[in-house]
Amino acid sequence: MSSSMKFAALEPAIVCACAQHERENENVRNYRHCLLFGQYFVKFGAYSSFYSEVMTLSYLADLAKTEATAPRVPQVHHFFHNNGGMAYVVMEYICLAQVSAETLAAKAAQAVRWMHGVPAPHDVVLGPKGNGRARHVVFKNCKAPLDFVSLGALERYFNKAVAKARHRSPTIADISIAKERLVLTQSDMNTSNFGVDAAGRPVVLDFGEIGWLPESLDLYTLLRTTAFARKVAEHLFGPDEATSLCSHPNLASMSEIRALLAMAARPNLNLDNNGYERTSS
């Protein structure tokens, strides 16, 4: 039996196991839609939001296995869905070593450094593979409200928010990102999204918040989000460089509009995906 046929034959059992896992854990705080299935790791979610995550994972796993300096990325063995409803990915299970917090931060920095060197595929304008929307904490609910067609469009969107924020912060600077390079970013810098294998190689574990973003958004993630992100940044930047980067006006303005967007009733700010005001038909 071929590998694809083997996994196809397992689909009913995988669906059943995931449904049972959901029933048993749906009321558990911070529950994640994933489980061990034999020697494999299975993750599942709604196809509409999960597809781009799996495409990004698969793309980076293929890159990582050919590069000696890359972190380990779980290999995708099988992906299937229920008529566009629930989707399931069967991937390699990587056993993680127990390491100190400092070691994990250093290894995560190695992974992030590699990610920074991965150019955006030709079919990615902003965000993950598979046409998913960009993910970042600056956006309301950590998800871009529009399918922005360019970094210029995103810049116009951010500066519409900046204009609104000036009512309470008159000195806030415009955000300039249209000419920045795209950087592969893990927007959720949580310790659970990185690991270290038995050979001491860094491991990247969760791809739901990974995508190509302008450099300022990547820096915001590393310098202005979690304590773990800041610890990782210490391994990426020297003290003087970190101080200089922290003072970039884009980061201060992003902090201001993050608060504004979180409270926005219409997070698209009445703009289209080009970043211009919507016109009535």
Domain boundaries along the sequence of the chain: 3-92, 101-263
pLDDT above 70 as % of the chain: 99
Angstrom distances, CA of residue 159 to CA of 96, 214, 216, 235:
43, 15, 14, 32
Q: Work out the average pLDDT over 176-200.
A: 97
pTM: 0.94
Place of tokens 């034999």: 38
Where residue 30 falls among pLDDT bands split at 50, 70, 90? confident
Answer with the residue of higher pLDDT: 144 or 84. Answer: 144
Q: Count of CB atoms within 10 A of residue 53's CB?
A: 24
- The pLDDT assigned to 2 comes to 54
Q: Is residue 281 pLDDT above 60, yes or no?
A: no
Whether residue 3 has pLDDT greater than 80: no
Domain at 101-263, CATH class: alpha beta
Burial class, 109, CB count within 10 angstroms (exposed 0-12 / middle 13-18 / buried 19+) = buried
Per residue in 38-52, pLDDT tens? Answer: 999 999 999 998 999
For residue 183, the cross-strand partners are 213
Looking at residue 1, its pLDDT comes to 45
Measured CA to CA, the distance from residue 79 to residue 74 in angstroms comes to 13
- Please give the pLDDT value at position 101: 97
The model's pLDDT over 216-255, given as tens digits with 9 standing for 90+, comes to 999 999 999 999 999 999 999 999 999 999 999 999 999 9
- The pLDDT assigned to 151 comes to 98
Show the tokens assigned to 194: 């990185």
**Quick one: pLDDT band at residue 280, thresholds 50, 70, 90?**
low
Q: Which CATH class is domain 3-92?
A: alpha beta
> pLDDT confidence of 274, banded at 50, 70, 90?
very high
pLDDT in tens, 110-143: 999 999 999 999 999 999 999 899 999 999 999 9
Give the pLDDT confidence score for residue 208 in this predicted structure: 94
Instruction: Indicate the residue type of 267.
Output: P
Largest CA distance in the chain: 67
Q: What is the mean pLDDT of residues 88-108?
A: 97
Q: Which pLDDT tens digit goes with each residue over 152-174?
A: 999 999 999 999 999 999 999 99
Coarse DSSP helix, strand, coil percentages of the chain, rounded to the nearest 5 percent:
45, 15, 40
Give the pLDDT of residue 84. 81
